[in-house]
């Protein structure tokens, strides 16, 4: 379900593009491009210090290693696992590419993948059954994992490295095209929809952590919702996502929709005129709302009429027209961003990178002060505050530490123990997130992400230990208890619920909105006679 082409667009190519817009490049102040002059010229490579580009090659990335061949068995899946080679062959026949005028990536290493992926997820991919679930190819579950690694995951690792290389090339050339990648259903901790590695997240984080870019826009025009990178960028205000997708098909990820700043949900069968107008209108609004250092364009072709997975009705002519319009709008937006940036920088108030109160986290934050003193000498107070003993806290941390750990990207990450402590404080005290965040000296959004990640990790790691499916004998015992104690025959549990009001999530639109400005959830619990 990934696209066959991904484009990356860089604002530093604007002087070349300005000539196409009949603007005078000499009138553009490049000092306002978001990087100092030293950053843009280190190593003699414009905009990028490492000089990835070979001047004799086009900024196009491809490798024959992309294509998946599994003794013909790959043909049983509706996804074309050899489409990347077909695209390259067509470009070569047209005389646009030769065997040597494009860039070939290396295979992504485990160390590189761990920049965004959790160690537990990388380990999951060593199980053929899990890869079979991600790729939706059931027979793969019975194959040796060494074969799955070589025949399936290795091509994906090449494509993942290709997306990162394309992003780096865009820093030097101003644009780049990747003939593979676009695995927009994969996130840091899970895969899905034939997407095993989060290449878009990796490309963005790799450039951000080296300080080459800060603000990124992702324009996803694949027929499917891009839920993978959306989950990774949830709450990150430096990443703006515009996603145009068929709302009636996979994945339908409500949680990931919270990260999409401009969401365009299409009806099945949407045709040319309506589609092109929606893309035009919303892309112009997106480029007006957000100025980016880098634009990642996921150019999905499953919008074409007759695609058995996309279920849209877009002609080839309009798909080509879409590409032209998108790139033209991006070019104009880049020029305007550079022309306006100096003025905006003068009139905007300074913005904190990290608030001073949060910089004192290790000296004043609860985890580094009171919590450590409670662990050392006041276990009763520790229990009242966290609803568990220090020993139980350490045991719980041993279960979830791997899943809630974060790699060092731009700033030093919070320790796993600190993330867990924030989540437990919120769950045990019932305080508002803003209060919990303040006592730990972290931002509100950071605290919110810690709570979400810890709760998800606790559920994933402990559900098999404490919520095992009862055996037939246990079901019979429960039914007998209800019969003898409450005179309810054939009863397996008593259900009760709680109506919970939730503040509407950000960018949720009309889906969660009512006159009370709340969304509602009703969690249910099932109890047996022994729980009464």
Q: Is the dihedral of CA 123, 128, 129, 134 positive or negative?
A: positive
- Are 233 and 434 in contact by the 8 Å Cβ rule? The answer is no
- Are the beta carbons of 136 and 192 closer than 8 angstroms? no
Structure tokens at 239: 């990443």
Q: Is the Cβ–Cβ distance between 429 and 436 less than 8 Å? A: yes
Angle at 186 between CA 182 and CA 191, to 5 degrees: 135
User: Residues near 318 by Cβ (< 8 Å), separated by ≥ 6?
Assistant: 272, 275, 276
Q: How far apart are CA 117 and CA 229, in angstroms?
A: 11
Using CA atoms in the order 265, 268, 271, 276, what is the torsion angle rounded to 10 degrees? 10
Provide the terminal-to-terminal Cα distance of the chain, rounded to the nearest Å. 49
* Neighbouring residues of 441: CB distance < 8 A, sequence distance ≥ 6: 357, 358, 360, 361, 364, 365, 366
What residues are paired with 9 via a beta bridge?
A: 175, 295
Q: Would you say 311 and 350 are in contact if contact means Cβ atoms under 8 Å apart? A: no
Q: What is the rounded distance in angstroms from the CA atom of residue 480 to the CA atom of residue 384?
A: 38
Cα(425)–Cα(450) distance, integer angstroms:
11
Beta strands, E only, 129-280: 175-178, 216-220, 239-246, 262-266
Cβ of 238: how many Cβ atoms within 10 Å?
Answer: 15
Residues designated as active site? 185
What are the structure tokens assigned to 96, written together? Answer: 């646009």
Among 370, 33, 5, smallest CA distance to 215 is for 33
Q: How many CB atoms lie within 10 A of CB 129?
A: 14
Task: Give the long-range contacts of residues 40-44, CB within 8 A, separation 24 or more.
Answer: 40/12
d(CA 175, CA 48) in angstroms, rounded, equals 13
């Amino acid at each position: 379900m990934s696209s066959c082409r991904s484009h990356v667009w860089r604002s530093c190519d604007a002087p070349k593009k300005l000539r196409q817009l009949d603007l005078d490049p000499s009138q553009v102040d490049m000092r306002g491009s978001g990087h100092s002059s030293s950053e843009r010229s280190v190593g003699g490579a414009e905009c990028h210090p490492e000089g990835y580009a070979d001047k004799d090659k086009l900024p196009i990335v491809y490798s024959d290693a992309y294509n998946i061949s599994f003794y013909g068995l790959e043909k049983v899946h509706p996804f074309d696992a050899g489409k990347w080679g077909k695209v390259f062959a067509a470009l070569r026949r047209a005389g646009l590419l030769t065997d040597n005028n494009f860039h070939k990536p290396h295979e992504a290493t485990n160390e590189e993948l761990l920049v965004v992926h959790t160690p537990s997820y990388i380990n999951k991919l060593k199980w053929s059954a899990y890869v079979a679930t991600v790729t939706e190819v059931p027979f793969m579950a019975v194959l040796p994992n060494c074969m799955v690694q070589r025949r399936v995951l290795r091509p994906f690792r090449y494509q993942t490295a290709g997306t990162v290389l394309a992003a780096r090339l865009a820093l030097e050339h101003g644009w780049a095209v990747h003939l593979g990648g676009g695995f927009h259903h994969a996130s840091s901790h899970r895969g899905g929809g034939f997407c095993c590695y989060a290449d878009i997240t990796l490309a963005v984080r790799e450039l951000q952590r080296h300080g080459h870019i800060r603000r990124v826009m992702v324009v996803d025009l694949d027929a499917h919702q891009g839920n993978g990178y959306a989950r990774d960028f949830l709450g990150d205000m430096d990443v703006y996502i515009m996603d145009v997708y068929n709302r009636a098909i996979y994945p339908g990820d409500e949680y990931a929709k919270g990260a999409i700043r401009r969401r365009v949900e299409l009806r099945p069968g949407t045709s040319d005129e309506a589609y092109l107008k929606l893309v035009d209108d919303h892309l112009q609004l997106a480029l007006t709302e957000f100025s980016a250092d880098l634009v990642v364009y996921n150019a999905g072709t499953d919008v074409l009429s007759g695609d058995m997975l996309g279920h849209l009705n877009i002609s080839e002519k309009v798909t080509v027209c879409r590409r032209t319009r998108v790139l033209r709008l991006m070019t104009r937006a880049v020029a305007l961003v550079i022309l306006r940036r100096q003025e905006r920088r003068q009139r905007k108030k300074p913005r904190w990178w990290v608030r001073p109160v949060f910089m004192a986290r290790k000296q004043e934050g609860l985890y580094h002060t009171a919590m450590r003193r409670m662990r050392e000498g006041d276990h009763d107070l520790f229990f009242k505050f966290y609803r568990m003993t220090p020993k139980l806290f350490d045991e719980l941390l041993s279960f979830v530490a791997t899943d809630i750990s974060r790699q060092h990207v731009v700033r030093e990450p919070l320790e796993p123990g600190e993330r867990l402590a924030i989540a437990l404080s919120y769950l045990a005290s019932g305080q508002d997130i803003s209060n919990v965040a303040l006592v730990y000296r972290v931002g509100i959004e950071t605290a919110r992400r810690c709570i979400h990640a810890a709760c998800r990790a606790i559920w994933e790691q402990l559900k098999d230990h404490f919520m095992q499916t009862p055996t037939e004998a246990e079901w019979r015992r429960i039914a007998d208890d209800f019969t003898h104690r409450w005179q309810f025959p054939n009863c397996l549990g008593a259900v009760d619920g709680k109506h919970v009001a939730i503040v509407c999530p950000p960018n949720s639109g009309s889906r969660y909105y009512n006159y009370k400005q709340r969304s509602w959830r009703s969690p249910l619990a099932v109890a047996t006679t022994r729980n009464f």
